[in-house]
Amino acid sequence: MIKAVIVDDKPASIELLKWLIGQHCPEITQVDSATSVAEALPLLESVQPDIVFLDIQMPKQSGFDLLSQIGRWNFEVIFTTAYNEYAIQAIRFSALDYLLKPVDANELVKAIDRFKVKRIYAPAGEELYRNFLQNISAKEKKLALPGVTEITYVPLDDIIRLQAESNYTRFFFLDKSEFLSAKTLKEYEELLPQERFIRVHRSHIVNKSFINQYNREGMLLVLKDGTSLEVSRRKKAQLMRFMGE
């Protein structure tokens, strides 16, 4: 049984999301709602929800204001917003979730599926949110990596490369440590800044700062830590452009 609370200043948006949940998310058995921060605070205390669908922009007080007024919390936050550029990159970097309005049924189902995976290892909503706040204001963002049993936070400069392992991604760091993230390489290809990371193979993404040389005959990329990686033919031209060859 999953309990959810919707916080949105627009009743029509609440009713649409309730209807979509009723039609597509049978695992959510209880849905309550509030139209303001003042109304939501006691509701969250009494319901103790598993998920909060939280509108970012509301009059008087925002969704962020609501979270800042809560003491300790362990529910999952799924932000809802009509503005796809508004804090979205920082949200994604922090391994938090969001839905664009008007909410699409397929995207809602995917968000609930992600929640069911994350709840296994991460009653860490509060910690993720603190990292999110830092990422909004910080020049150098920390990437939140959800793993099999834990979450770790890393600066981008510490990442040497990423390697696909089925539906997971293994990270290799500057201090020679590794971390297995419960996300696909494709998800990280879309998330990481292209000016700093390049996908050279279906199984490999590398930090451009750690590229040492490229062996065109053997189609091997050599990194500064001594690692050699195969470069796919379709990625060769992109890599050559980056290296100025």
Comparing CA positions, the residue from 221, 203, 211 lying closest to residue 163 is 203
Looking at residue 57, what is its pLDDT? 87
Number of domains comprising the chain: 2
Q: Does one domain contain both 222 and 120?
A: no
Q: What is the CATH number of the domain that holds 53?
A: 3.40.50.2300
Q: What is the CATH number of the domain that holds 230?
A: 2.40.50.1020
Q: Does one domain contain both 110 and 209?
A: no
Rounded to 5, what percent of the chain is helix, strand, coil? 40, 30, 30
Tell me: the pLDDT tens digits for 28-61?
A: 999 999 999 999 999 999 999 999 999 988 988 9
Q: Does one domain contain both 122 and 34?
A: yes
Burial of 167 (0-12, 13-18, 19+ CB in 10 A): exposed
Looking at residue 83, what is its pLDDT? 74
Q: Does one domain contain both 162 and 231?
A: yes
Q: Does one domain contain both 158 and 73?
A: no
The answer to whether the bond into 146 is cis (omega within 30° of 0) is no
Comparing CA positions, the residue from 101, 8, 118 lying closest to residue 54 is 8
* Structural domain containing residue 23: 2-136
Q: Does one domain contain both 166 and 121?
A: no
Q: Does one domain contain both 202 and 147?
A: yes
- 64: Cα separation from own chain's centroid: 17
Q: Does one domain contain both 7 and 115?
A: yes
Q: Does one domain contain both 73 and 106?
A: yes
DSSP state for residue 3 in the 8-state scheme: E
Average pLDDT, the chain: 89
Looking at residue 86, what is its pLDDT? 56
Looking at residue 126, what is its pLDDT? 73
Q: Does one domain contain both 149 and 113?
A: no
Which of 79, 101, 136 is a domain's end point?
Answer: 136
Determine how many CB atoms are found less than 10 A away from the CB of residue 48: 11
Stretch 123-127: mean pLDDT? 66
Which of 136, 166, 200 is a domain's end point?
Answer: 136
Looking at residue 84, what is its pLDDT? 65
Q: Does one domain contain both 229 and 176?
A: yes
Which of 136, 168, 197 is a domain's end point?
Answer: 136
Tokens matching residue 15 = 């009713």
Range list of H helices, the chain: 11-24, 37-47, 63-69, 88-93, 105-121, 125-137, 185-191, 233-243
Full-model pTM: 0.76
β 178-181/197-201 pair status: unpaired
Tell me: the pLDDT tens digits for 214-226?
A: 887 768 999 999 9
Q: Does one domain contain both 114 and 227?
A: no
CA distances to 12, 132, 236 from 227, in Å: 55, 32, 18
Stretch 122-147: mean pLDDT? 77
